[in-house]
Amino acid sequence: MSFVNFKKREVQFKIVYYGPGLCGKTTNLQVIHRLINPEARGDLTSIATAGERTLFFDFMPLVAQAIEGYQTRFQLYTVPGQVMYNLTRRLVLRGVDGVVFVADSQWSKMQENVESFANLEENLQLQGETLQTLPHVLQYNKRDLPDVAPVHYMEFMLNHGAVRQSSFPAVATTGEGVFEALNMVARQVLHKFMIVHSRKEEGVRELALV
Ligand SMILES: Nc1nc2c(ncn2[C@@H]2O[C@H](COP(=O)(O)OP(=O)(O)OP(=O)(O)O)[C@@H](O)[C@H]2O)c(=O)[nH]1
Ligand SMILES: [Mg+2]
């Protein structure tokens, strides 16, 4: 949930990377950590098994100048993709402001992508959220592999709602499509925040995007 601290002049948002096991969620955070200016990010914390599967979550804070006079913090999280960790996914999703849904482009993973997307919708509903109002983007990852489905097929499977969401082909290992997806979800999150807060009588009217 977005959080404003007027005293410290700080605004905080939570962005969650969601998707099936091994689709590349942790790799997204790793490449952001590697490529971004170190002054703009904190440490990457990963709670994983020896086999590098996410056990609880990965976490990394980013700092941006997005709202005039305020420090804007984006807290990036990943969920564990393995089906058995659904309770953990629900915990990580609490108070989410925006989602990057990472799909694995390989033909063999299409069913898992669809199931994970349905699982996201179900878990959001349990906390009174819905993808209809929650900022989110799709990332079609692993485009470098040989046996991948065409982007239009993935759109047909995962992006067929009334409103077409932004989607990005990606190769998370190199960073291709990673910042594009993050920038877009961050923009959507900020946009929603400004709309919601400009309606409230909290003295937040002074907030303005940079
Ligand atoms: N070829 C290729 N491999 C990738 C890409 N992105 C991630 N991988 C590899 O896929 C494997 C799984 O990546 P992770 O980032 O750990 O996947 P995850 O979604 O965090 O998996 P869980 O934590 O189990 O949910 C690793 O070996 C990555 O190096 C990509 O774009 N192309
Ligand atoms: Mg992971």
- Would you state the pLDDT for residue 113? 98
Using 50 as the pLDDT threshold, list the residues of the chain that sit under it.
Answer: 205
pTM for the model: 0.95
Output the residue whose Cα is nearest ligand 1's atom 21: 22
Q: What is the pLDDT of residues 110-129, one digit of tens each?
A: 999 999 999 999 999 999 99
Atom of ligand 1 nearest to the CA of 28: 15
Residue 159, ligand 1, Cβ within 6 A: no
**Topology at the third CATH level for domain 3-205:** Rossmann fold (3.40.50)
State which H helix or E strand residue 139 sits in.
strand 136-141
- The answer to whether 17 and 79 are in contact (CB under 8 A) is yes
Give the residue extent of every domain in the chain.
3-205
Position in ligand 1 atom list of the atom nearest CA 48? 23
Predicted pLDDT of residue 50:
75
Any atom of ligand 1 within 6 Å of the Cβ of 30: no
> Tell me: the pLDDT tens digits for 65-93?
888 888 999 999 999 999 999 999 999 99
pLDDT, residue 210, reads: 55
pLDDT of residue 202: 55
Residues with CB under 5 A from ligand 2 (ion): 25-26, 54
| pLDDT score for 161 | 85
Atom of ligand 1 nearest to the CA of 79: 25
Helices (H), the chain: 25-35, 86-93, 110-126, 151-158, 178-198
Q: Give the ligand with the smallest distance to the CA of 82.
A: 1
What pLDDT score does 208 carry?
61
Does 145 contact ligand 1 (Cβ within 6 A)? yes
What's the CA gap between 193 and 206, in Å, rounded?
13
